[in-house]
Chain A
Amino acid sequence: MRGWTHFFSGLAAVTFFPPLLADLVNGVMWPVLAGVAAYMPDFVDFKFRRFLWRQDIVADPAPRDPRTKLSPRRVKIGRLSEAERWRLYYIEGYIERVLEEREGFAKFTLRDETGEILVVARDRDYTKLREALGSSVEDAARARRRVSISGFLDIGEDGKPYWNVADAPHPQYIANKVAEAIDRAYESGRMVTIKIHNIRVVGDFYRRFLVYYDQDNRRIVVYMGPLVSTGGLPLEGTEPAEYRRVGVAYTKHPFRKVYPRPTVIDAFSGPEIGYVKSGEVVEEVFIPWHRGFSHSITASLIAGLVAGLVALLAGYANYLHLAVACALGYMAHVLEDQLGFMGSNLLPPLTKKRVPGLMLFPRRPGLMNFATNWLMLALMIWNLNRFSPQLGVTPYKLVRLSTVIQGIPVHLEDYALLGILIAPTVLVYLAGIIDKQLFLREYRAPGVEEATRKETVEEVQEEVGGY
Chain B
Amino acid sequence: MEYFISPIDVILWGLMGAGLGIALSWIPGLHVANLMILVLYATPLFTGGSEYAAPYFALGAVVAFSFMSSIASTYLSVSDESMMLMLFPSQRYLLAGRGHRAVLLYCIGALIGLLFLVAFMTTAGVVVMPIIYNLFSPYYWFALLAVVLFMFLSEWPKESDLGRSGLERLWLAWRQILGGILVFFASGVLGFYATYSGLIKLEVSFARLTPLFIGFFGLPWVLRNIISRRTLPPQDTRHVAETAPSAVVNGAASGIIGGGIAAFFPIITGGMGALIGGHTASSRGDDAFLISQGAARAVYYTGALFFLFHPTMRVTRGAVAWLVGGLYTPKAWIEFYYGAALIVLVAGASLLGTIYMSKAVAKLLTRVSYAKISAVVAVFLVALVYYLTGLNGLLLLAAATAVGFAAMVFNTRLSYCLGALILPVLLNVTGYTDEVLTVLGIR
B residues in contact with A39, CB < 8 Å = 150, 153-154
Q: Across the two chains, which residue of chain A brings its CB closest to B431?
A: A27
Given A229-B286, A388-B135, check contact A35 B89 (CB 8 Å). no
Check B284 against A232 for contact (C-beta < 8 Å). Answer: yes
Interface string of B256-267 (1 = CB under 8 A from A): 000000000000
Give the distance in Å from the alpha carbon of A3 to the alpha carbon of B275 in the complex: 10
Q: How many Å lie between the Cα of A12 and that of B85 in the bound state?
A: 35
Question: Number of contact residues on A: which range applies?
Answer: 35 or more
Which residue of chain A has its CB nearest to the CB of B136?
A384
The residue from A27, A47, A204, A370 contacting B141, defined by CB atoms under 8 A apart:
A27
Kindly provide the distance from the CB of A445 to the nearest chain B CB, expressed in whole angstroms: 27
Listed in ascending order, the chain B residues whose CB lies under 8 Å from chain A are: 81-82, 84-87, 89, 91-92, 95-96, 131, 134-136, 138-139, 141-142, 145-146, 149-150, 153-154, 156-157, 159-163, 166-167, 169-170, 173-174, 177, 242, 250, 253, 275-276, 279-282, 284-289, 429-431
* Cβ contacts A to B, 6 pairs, < 8 Å: A7-B146, A24-B142, A70-B82, A203-B92, A205-B96, A369-B279
**A51 and B170 contacting across the interface, CB-CB below 8 Å:** yes
The residue on B at minimum CB distance from A66 is B162
Residues of A contacting B286 in the complex (Cβ-Cβ under 8 angstroms)? 229-231, 233
A363: CB under 8 A from chain B? no
Q: Pick from A124-132, A145-153, A393-401, A455-463 the stretch touching chain B.
A: A393-401
Secondary structure call for the B interface: helix
* Contact residues in A for B280 (Cβ distance below 8 Å): 2, 4-5, 369-370, 373
Q: Which one, A24, A27, A229, A398, contacts B89 given CB within 8 A? A: A229
User: Within the assembled complex, what's the spacing in Å between the Cα atoms of A433 and B274?
Assistant: 30
CB contacts under 8 Å to B, within A53-78, are 53-54, 64, 67-70
A31 at the interface (CB under 8 A from B): yes
Chain B CB within 8 A of A197 CB: yes
A366 within 8 A of partner (CB): yes
- Beyond A3-B154, A388-B135, A398-B131, whether A32 also contacts B149 by CB under 8 A is yes
Q: Is B134 a contact partner of A394 (Cβ separation < 8 A)?
A: yes
* Pick from B85, B173, B287: contact of A69, CB under 8 Å: B85
Give Cα A385 to B136, complex, Å: 10
Task: Assess whether A52 is interfacial by the CB under 8 Å rule.
Answer: yes
| Least distance between B16 CB and chain A CB atoms (Å) | 39
What is the number of contacts between chain A and chain B, taking CB atoms within 8 Å? 143
Residue from A29, A35, A203, A370 in contact with B81 in the complex, judged by beta carbons closer than 8 Å: A203
Please give the distance in Å from B52's CB to the nearest CB on chain A.
32
A7 touches B81 (CB 8 A): no
Q: Do A52 and B141 touch across chains, with their CB atoms under 8 A apart?
A: no
Q: How far is the CA of A69 from the CA of B83 in the complex (A)?
A: 8
Contact partner of A68 (CB less than 8 A), chosen from B82, B173, B429, is B82
Contacts A4-B276, A27-B430: A231 and B89 contacting too (C-beta < 8 A)?
Answer: yes
The chain A residue with its CB closest to the CB of B257 is A373
When distances are taken between beta carbons in the complex, the residues of chain B under 8 Å from A202 are: 81
Distance between Cα atoms of A51 and B164 in the complex (Å): 10
- The answer for the CA separation of A369 and B281 in the assembled complex, in Å, is 7
Asked if B82 contacts A69 (CB within 8 A), the reply is: yes
**Bound CA span A381–B135, Å:** 7
A421 interfacial contact with B, CB 8 Å: no
Measured CA separation A31–B149 after assembly (Å): 13
CB <8 Å contact, B96 and A235: yes
| Interface assignment of A415: CB less than 8 Å from any CB of chain B | no
Q: Does A403 contact B (CB under 8 A)?
A: no
A33: nearest residue on chain B (CB-CB)? B149
- Asked whether any CB of chain B lies closer than 8 Å to the CB of A269, the reply is yes
List 17 other contacts, CB 8 Å, given A204-B92, A369-B279. Answer: A27-B141, A36-B149, A36-B153, A39-B153, A47-B173, A47-B177, A51-B166, A51-B173, A52-B167, A52-B169, A68-B82, A69-B159, A203-B81, A231-B286, A233-B287, A269-B160, A269-B161
Which residues of the other chain, B, contact A35 by a CB distance below 8 angstroms?
A: 146, 149-150
Is A259 part of the contact surface with B, judged by Cβ < 8 Å?
A: no
Q: How far is the CA of A5 from the CA of B277 in the complex (A)?
A: 11
Q: Which residue of A lies closest to B157 (CB)?
A: A47
User: Chain B CB within 10 Å — which of A2, A11, A54, A391 has the most?
Assistant: A2
Give B164's nearest chain A residue, CB to CB. A58
- A431 part of interface (Cβ distance < 8 Å): no
CB of A316 closer than 8 Å to a CB of B: no
Q: Are B146 and A11 in contact (CB under 8 A)?
A: yes
Residues of chain A within 8 A (CB-CB) of B150 are 3-4, 7, 35, 39
Interface residues of A in 1-51 (CB under 8 A from B): 2-5, 7, 11, 21, 24-25, 27, 29, 31-32, 35-36, 39, 43, 47-48, 50-51
A347-377 vs B, Cβ < 8 Å mask (1 yes, 0 no): 0000000000000000001100110010000
| A268 CB contacts on chain B under 8 angstroms | 156
- Check if A366 sits within 8 Å of B138, measured CB to CB: no
Known A-B contacts A39-B150, A204-B87, A231-B288; the reply to A51 vs B160 at CB < 8 A is yes
Chain B residues, Cβ within 8 Å of A203? 81, 92, 95-96
Q: Which residue from A54, A229, A393 sits with its C-beta under 8 Å from B138?
A: A393
A247 at the interface (CB under 8 A from B): no
Chain B residues near A161 (CB, 8 Å)? none
Expressed in whole angstroms, the Cα–Cα distance for A157 and B290 within the complex equals 49
Nearest Cβ on chain B to A271's Cβ, whole angstroms = 10
A-side contacts of B87, CB under 8 Å: 204
Bound together, the chains give a CA A69 to CA B288 distance in angstroms of 27
* Interface: A270 (CB within 8 A): yes
Query: How many Å lie between the Cα of A40 and that of B443 in the bound state?
Result: 39
